[in-house]
Amino acid sequence: MATKKTRLFMSGNSQAVRIPREFQLDGDEVEIRQRGNTLVIRPKKLSWAPLMDSLKKFTADFMAQGRRQPAVQKRKRPSSLLPCSNGSFRIRSVTSGSPVSP
């Protein structure tokens, strides 16, 4: 990660940081957090509100007929998995054929 020296200045009653062009962030708001003597500045997290608002546009009968979901495929368990007494699986070593301890 690149490091670059920059300048602090006053903007009204607030201290501000000049962010070099190669580090500029999208948007017009950021989040700032202090970790010890380090300040972490990152783009503001996107809100879930637009998504939640868009869900309100679906009518009550949306997908009333259900989904056309394909049937679940039945698959054979790979021979490299060994069943354990607790219901989980262990991986059989490919080179030696002996189980690999977790």
Report if residue 70 sits inside a domain.
no
Q: Is residue 82 in some structural domain?
A: no
Q: What is the pLDDT of residue 15?
A: 95
Give the integer Cα–Cα distance in Å for 96 and 59: 59
By CB atoms closer than 10 A (0-12, 13-18, 19+), residue 52 is exposed
> Is there a domain that residue 13 lies in?
yes
Give the structural domain span for 35.
8-43
- The domain tally of the chain equals 1
Mean pLDDT, the chain, integer: 85
Residue 17 lies in a domain: yes
Tens-place pLDDT, residues 58-97: 998 988 888 888 998 888 777 777 878 887 887 776 665 5
Does any domain span residue 29? yes
pLDDT of residue 100: 56
Compute the Cα dihedral for 79, 85, 91, 97 and give only its sign: negative
Q: Average of pLDDT values for 1-22?
A: 91
pLDDT at 30: 92
Q: Considering the domain boundaries, does residue 19 fall inside one?
A: yes
Question: What is this structure's pTM?
Answer: 0.43
Is 71 inside a domain boundary? no
Q: Decide if 12 is inside a domain.
A: yes
